[in-house]
Structures are given as C-alpha cells and as structure tokens.
Structure 1
Amino acid sequence: MAAGFADVLIGLQYGDEGKGRIVDAIARDYNIVARFNGGANAGHTVVVEGLNLALALIPSGVINQSASLYIGSGCVVDLAALAKEIQMVEAAGLSVRPRLRISPYTSIVQPHHIFLDRAFSSDIGTTGNGIGQAYADRALRMIAGELLNIRCIDLLQNEFSVVEQMLRNLENATKLYPSIERPKRSVIVQTISEAIELVRPLITTDPLYLSDAVEKGASVLFEGAQSYELDVARGIVPYVTASHTCAGYAYTGGDVPPKFHRKTIGVAKTIMSRVGKGPFASELGGTRSEEYCMAENGRRHNRDYEKKSYDAEKLLKSDDDFELGIGLRMVCGEYGTRTGRPRRIGVFDLEQLKKAVRANYIDELYLTRCDLLEHFRRTKRAEIPLRTPGSSDTNGTSIAFENAWELQNAQSLPRELEKLVTMTEQSCGVTVRGIGVGPERSQLIECR
C-alpha cells in the first residue's frame, strides 16, 4: 500500500482568520484532521446548515463525520474544557468520542496554571486559560521533587497520583500568592475526576499512532491554532502565544515525520484583527485603538458594551480611523469567540502577508471575510483601503467601488474583488485558491 501524505493549514496574520471554516470546507479530502499546537485559547467557529459550533480544542473537521480527529503532543489540554466541549458537540448530534484520539505525550493544563494565568497575565492580554503556564511547566519539568509537566500518559499509568500531584502543584502555587483567592479543593477534585472519566479512553497508548496511519496510506490535514505573527519564537515578544504556530512545527507537534509533507495552505482575512496587546501596523486608530480594546484586559469595551453605546452607521461615516474601526468591528462581529473581547481592527496588509507567505512557503492561499469588505462602501471614501509594501501606516492604496456586489462564483466576482485577488497574488507570489464570502460551508468560492 502506498504511503499517505500530510498537508498543513495555518493562519498568516494575528488569528481569527477563519481557519476553522476553511478546515471544515476541505476536510472531506482527508482521512484525519489533527491539531498540533495550542490549547483552549484557540477559538474556531464552524457554521454548517444552521449548526454553529464554537470550538477550542476539538479539530474543526469534526463536522465531517467520515474524518478521524487527533490532538497531537504539541498541544496542551485542559481536561475539563475538553470534556465539556465533547459533550457540547455530541449534544448537537455529532459523533466525537469514537473518532477522537489524543497523543499520550500531550501535556495537561492544571488548575494552578489557570490560577496563575488569570492572576498575572493581563499585561500581555492572554485568554486566562493557563496555556502559557502549561508550556512553561513543560520546559521546567520538575522543581524540588515535584513533577510539573503532567502528560496524558500519566493518566493511563496512575490516575490517583496524577490528581494528587495536581493538587500539590496548586497548593505550592497558592502559597506563593496568599492574597489571591484560591479555588476550592473539593470542586477541583470533582471537576477533574469527571473529566478524566470522559477523556481517558481517548488517549492512545501508541506515540506513533498518527505516523503509522500515514505510513499505511492515510491523508492528514494539520490545523494550526493561533497564527504566524503570534509564534512564540518569531513573533514580537512578549506579545505572542506560548506555542509554535509556524507550518514547520506541525510535524513535531503533530507526531508525523516531515517526509510525508505535501503542501502548505495559508488563510488570511481581508479585514484584519488582533486580540490582545502588541504591534499591529495596519490598525485603524493605532495605539488609541489598542488602549481602548485592552481596557481591563478587554472586558470593559466588550460586545455588549459597544452594542449599547454606539451607532455603527454613524461611526462608519466618521473621518476618525479610531471610530471607523469600532464601526467595522460592530458590523463585522469582530469579538472573541469565547470571551466577547473586542478585536482590534486593521486594513488588509499586503506587506505583512508577503512576509508570512515567504516564511512558511505557502503553496496556496484562502482569503476570508471578503463579503464584509462591502461595508467600506458605506464609509465617506467609499473604497477598500490596503496597506502595501513601503507604506508606513493604513494609507497605502485603495480599491474604489464600482457596482453593487453579487457574490456567487469565481466567474462573476465583483471587479473590486478581482482586483484584490490579483494584487494579492502579484504582491505575495502565491495562488489564491478560494475566497470566503460568508460563514456557511457553501459560501466558499473556489478560484482555481
């Protein structure tokens, strides 16, 4: 039997590009969809035939019932969050447990990780899910005889000792910060025990599980969490995630040898956004927008606040880029999938995208949220702004609107979108394979 292959799909900007909807759309072409990095800090939304699923840990290919699912050793798993998500998806009528397997080497997000994250990570704007602390303990391994990096394989060997070790780690952490309210021990024990009962049967005992499947002919789609600009090594520290988000890491974190690699797929959205603090060259409103969005770690000006406080139509007509950014966020629904935090809004940045395409050697590109570009028609300038190579801010070039849009197929694309696709391909040296013109699976237009 001929060996299979693996493709890698990653986001090329700052996250929330719509990776999940692209994975869902192309998952039918693969036997297995696998995660290779991150944890419950990744919010992917999949919309199909009226079913709207907000996923954090389960691969977005879950709606394709013929695909198996895998969580690789490069991930960190919050057992309670995963158990809750599995129950949520199964309640929607989808099969999960018979199809999902977890690497024995995947590290576990423990209660003290979440405790420390929520207490001390507001300066960089994390989601508070303990992801960075879990990766830190993976590197620390052990301190003063206490095991810090607990992996899924440990659950298979001695579940009781794992729970006891987690509780000791929490106790040691809370002793260092006695002024911070600690979670109740009884609640933690019950929550962890219930989660272990559900998740433990999904942990494979074979670290070569996925590698063997590919060697026997299976095709794998690796689904990246977060995005290229947030890579722990290549992003701008400290405003990065805690894991590697580049395409090359898929084979380390996904447990397959790189010899099986076939192609790399990139996803970018045409109205950009960023959650959390950090540089964002094409941001509408610049540092003013960043400070506004990150007030109280993103909780002050959340989705509900803006809905009550602003008239989006008036903001879209504003000469102030900061106000325009708020208006676009409201009409585009750019808020955290799980948190409701406001996403900072920016114009499509071809200079940034070109760098990301080259760094990951992208073979084909999907552009998402293209339908939302029509909101720029309602602005005073009535044109689509772009940041192009050589421009220092949001004032690069623009595409003027001509006629009303009808988004049906690649043969009848509006001229504005045709121009955008052409500019992207020429600037970045990559083929645009498809464009998203809505959240539904049917609203992905194939260009090539």
Structure 2
Amino acid sequence: MNKSIIGLQWGDEGKGKIVDFLSKQFDLVVRYQGGNNAGHTVIVDDVTYKLNLIPSGAIRGKSCFLGQGVILDPEHFINELNSFKRKIPNPVIYLSSNISLILDYHKKLDKINESILIGESKIGTTAKGIGPAYQDKIGRKSIKLHDLGNEKNIEDKLHNIKEFYDPILLKFGEEPVNIQANKSFLSKIYEDISGLIVDNNFINENFNNKNILFEGAQGALLDLDHGSYPFVTSSNTISTYIPIGSSINSSFETLGIFKAYATRVGNGPFPTELNNSIGNYMAEKGFEYGTVTKRKRRCGWLDLVSLKYSCKINNVKELCITKVDVLNELDQIKICKSYEGKLFNEINFSDSSILDKLKLNEEDFVIFEKWGDLSFLKSMEDMPLQLKKFINFIEDYLEIPINLISFGPDRKETIVK
C-alpha cells in the first residue's frame, strides 16, 4: 500500500527522519509541494544530512521524484545535489518537466512583500521567493522546466515578466529584471539538470504497481487554505493535494507525524505557546532552530485540539510521535485538550483573528508526570509507565493508533509498535 507522510503541526515535526526510516519498504519517494523553504534533517550512523528539496528516501538509495506542485530554485537544487553526492554518489532523482522555477526577481519580490507589512502582520517568510513564484504559477507567468530547451519561449516570457515586475522592483529600489542574465543562467541550468527532467507520464508508466511514499513538506496547519490564514505557506500541504502536486493518481494511506510538544516559526496564532523558561528549555533541548532560516522556533505544549483538526482534514489512519525525549526531565508535562472548553469542531482554524483571541486556562490542560531517561529504550515493553499514559491519552483523544515513537534524531532511536 502506498503511504503519505504528513506533518500535523506547523512543520518541523521530524518528517525527514521518518521518511528515511520507512523508505526501505518503498520503490519511489515523491515530493509534491513546497520548495527550499522546507528543511529536513536526518542522522544516520553519526552522519547528518540536511535536505531542502531532495526527498529523504535518497539516503537509502531510493528513486526520488519532485512533482509538478514543487517550486524549484534551480541554483539551490544543484548545490544541494552536489553536496549530497559527496555522501551518497549517484542518487536517482527525477524532476517533473512541469515544475515552475524560482528566479532572482522572485526573491526580491518576496523581500518587498514582507517589508511593506507592519508589526504582527508580518508573515515571517523565509524570503526564498516561494510565494512570488507560486503567484507567477497562478498568474500564468511561470518559467517551467519544460521551457528550458526553448530559448525563444524563455525570452518571450522574460519580456512579459520584465514589463509586469519592473515598476514594482524599481519603486522599492531593486534592480530591474535582467533578461540576458536570466537567459544565460537558465541555459547553464539546463546543461546541468536536463538529464533529470521527465514528463509525468514517465513516472506513471515506470512506477505503475510500485510502492510509493509521498513526503510532505511544512505542516497541515500551514496549508494555504486550511491553515491560520494569512500566516500560512504558499502551497497546499494536506494529503488531498497529493494527486495534483505529484500527478500520481494512486490510492494511499496517511501517516500523520507530530512532536510531543508544539513549535512554530514566524508569526501567527499559537494557543499553547510558552513564553517562559519551559519554552526556552524545549527550544534548547530540542535544538529548535530552523533548518532553513536558523531562527529560534517558538515552543509550547502539545495541542490536541488542532491535532484532531489536522487528522480529520488529512484522513489520517495512523500516527507517529517524535521528540518524546525532549520532555524527559520536565517535572510536569501538559497536553491541551480544549480551547476555553471548546473542541476542534467548534473552532475555525483558518481564521487567525479567532485563534489570536483565545485565552486558555487550567481546565484546558491535562497534566502528566515526567518519564525520565529514554536512552535504554529498545521496545514498547521498556517504555516508562508515565510515557505510556501520555501516549495512551493521545490515542484515545484522537481515536487513531500511534504506531511509531521517535525518541532521538538517529534512525535507530525509533520504536515500531
């Protein structure tokens, strides 16, 4: 059975590690949305892999595919690929010819967009050009991978882009679109990656009846339509987008991943956020600094209200909990079970103004005792009683089994139920 791996929070749940852990069972690993604003860190035998675009299944030598829903910064991709090849030679990676590209003017526009927002209305974008590149895709101005072999096509598109964006760029003190420089850049890119570009039919024909693992980026609560708008990413992160972003119309079951606590990068509602020493402890113990931005993540207690919402919109069948080791030494561990007494079906998670006004109280939380060191864990039988109670409560609340438990960054620090 094909499987999708979906983050159920605001990203950074540990999807990269779990994709690597599970990918041995699959023939193809597919990325279907997002760009190099996502970051996955995987540790195998003391070797650390930091990936933004390359699916984590490549570490095991699995075939990987970046689908048409991905936005590609070609320069970043080539640098990442060359760096990866120094550790894993000859990875098998395919790029959909329908992928839209990020170019220099997208990054300038991203900075401009963020600069004109005021105070808490700022999104906290990675400034990688993701949003403007998706805007071009919707506005039918994208330069796609299948354009790269057609110099006239590229020149015509760049002229239209220049006419459209130069007034904005110049108004904010940025250099105008340089047609010749972009043409030369794209010509060089085509030389470097033309051998990786395939049309969607190639994937469907060559991996028909194969086992496929779909790797999500970011998290469900950042989904463009289902997240806390406007503090969302620029793509649809939930499982229903997979057939569109991958062009693979195969059935799959969804494994939802969440941390034993919650984190968020950038601005936006965060009902269980801890602006205190416990939140700082989580950030330091959990190394909660963005793979892409290096920014310190905001930290808070696990939120089952939003988690149940994420499970519903993704049709999650099984769960994986990560980073339970980060909470080892806290005297008390809390879980949020309601928002001012309200449950998930009483909340509009797409309306940031509602979430911002929430004032949680003690009755909204359940308290658990600490479970201590987990370095000795080998199986479920070894698990401390307090951690079992913590996990059982989550399963009962969400009505979905937790089949994977991760208690450290290494591939080996994982228990299968």
* TM-score interval, smaller chain: 0.7 to 0.9
- Whichever residue aligns with residue 202 of structure 1, its letter is L
Q: Distance in 1 between matches of 2:67 and 2:96?
A: 5
2:189 matched to which residue of 1? 195
1:197 shift after superposition: 2.0
When residues 442 and 167 of structure 1 are mapped into structure 2, their CA distance, relative to the original with a 3 A threshold, is farther
1:44 matched to which residue of 2? 40
1:243 matched to which residue of 2? 235
Deviation sequence 1:257-308 (CA, Å, 0-9, x none): 1xx31311110011210011111111112xxxxxxxxxxxxxxxxxxxxxxx
Q: Distance in 2 between matches of 1:266 and 1:394?
A: 28
1:443 matched to which residue of 2? 413
In the alignment, is residue 266 of structure 1 matched against residue 256 of structure 2?
yes
When residues 73 and 262 of structure 1 are mapped into structure 2, their CA distance, relative to the original with a 3 A threshold, is same
1:69 matched to which residue of 2? 64
Q: Distance in 2 between matches of 1:283 and 1:124?
A: 17
- Whichever residue aligns with residue 333 of structure 1, its letter is F
Deviation sequence 1:383-437 (CA, Å, 0-9, x none): 1111113555374111112665443321101112111110111000101011111
1:207 to 191, 200, 210: 200
Q: Distance in 2 between matches of 1:128 and 1:361?
A: 32
Q: Distance in 1 between matches of 2:222 and 2:317?
A: 21
1:144 matched to which residue of 2? none
2:15 matched to which residue of 1? 19
1:170 shift after superposition: 5.1
2:309 matched to which residue of 1? 355
1:384 matched to which residue of 2? 333
1:327 shift after superposition: 3.0
1:221 matched to which residue of 2? 213
- Whichever residue aligns with residue 370 of structure 1, its letter is V
In the alignment, is residue 327 of structure 1 matched against residue 281 of structure 2?
yes
Comparing 182-191 with 99-108, greater Cα deviation is found at: 182-191
When residues 427 and 135 of structure 1 are mapped into structure 2, their CA distance, relative to the original with a 3 A threshold, is same
When residues 366 and 403 of structure 1 are mapped into structure 2, their CA distance, relative to the original with a 3 A threshold, is closer
Q: Which aligned pairs between 1:113-192 and structure 2 lie closer than 5 A? A: 113-121=106-114, 123-141=122-140, 148-156=141-149, 158-159=150-151, 161-162=153-154, 165-166=157-158, 169=161, 172-178=164-170, 179-182=172-175, 185=178, 191-192=185-186
Instruction: Verify the 8 A CA contact 1:283 1:394 in the aligned structure 2.
Output: no
Give the gaps of 5 or more residues in structure 1. Answer: 142-147, 286-321, 377-381
Instruction: Verify the 8 A CA contact 2:108 2:174 in the aligned structure 1.
Output: no
CA RMSD for the aligned pairs? 2.1
When residues 402 and 18 of structure 1 are mapped into structure 2, their CA distance, relative to the original with a 3 A threshold, is closer
1:353 shift after superposition: 1.0
In the alignment, is residue 407 of structure 1 matched against residue 397 of structure 2?
no
Instruction: Verify the 8 A CA contact 1:109 1:130 in the aligned structure 2.
Output: yes
Secondary structure at 2:9's aligned position in 1? coil
2:297 matched to which residue of 1? 343
Secondary structure at 1:16's aligned position in 2? coil
Instruction: Verify the 8 A CA contact 2:28 2:207 in the aligned structure 1.
Output: no
Q: Distance in 1 between matches of 2:51 and 2:405?
A: 22
Q: Distance in 1 between matches of 2:215 and 2:72?
A: 16
When residues 159 and 40 of structure 1 are mapped into structure 2, their CA distance, relative to the original with a 3 A threshold, is farther
- Whichever residue aligns with residue 253 of structure 1, its letter is G
Q: Distance in 2 between matches of 1:267 and 1:163?
A: 44
1:303 matched to which residue of 2? none
1:90 matched to which residue of 2? 85
1:162 shift after superposition: 2.3
Secondary structure at 1:363's aligned position in 2? strand
When residues 133 and 155 of structure 1 are mapped into structure 2, their CA distance, relative to the original with a 3 A threshold, is same
- TM-score norm. by structure 1 comes to 0.82
In the alignment, is residue 428 of structure 1 matched against residue 395 of structure 2?
no
2:350 matched to which residue of 1? none
Q: Distance in 2 between matches of 1:340 and 1:332?
A: 14
Deviation sequence 1:21-77 (CA, Å, 0-9, x none): 000000000000000111111111111112211111111111011x11000011111
Secondary structure at 1:38's aligned position in 2? coil
When residues 426 and 69 of structure 1 are mapped into structure 2, their CA distance, relative to the original with a 3 A threshold, is same
- Whichever residue aligns with residue 360 of structure 2, its letter is D
1:314 matched to which residue of 2? none
Instruction: Verify the 8 A CA contact 1:264 1:364 in the aligned structure 2.
Output: yes
When residues 182 and 53 of structure 1 are mapped into structure 2, their CA distance, relative to the original with a 3 A threshold, is farther
Instruction: Verify the 8 A CA contact 2:222 2:228 in the aligned structure 1.
Output: yes
Instruction: Verify the 8 A CA contact 1:114 1:130 in the aligned structure 2.
Output: yes
Aligned sequence identity (%):
32
Deviation sequence 1:205-233 (CA, Å, 0-9, x none): x3222222343x21110101111001111
In the alignment, is residue 34 of structure 1 matched against residue 30 of structure 2?
yes
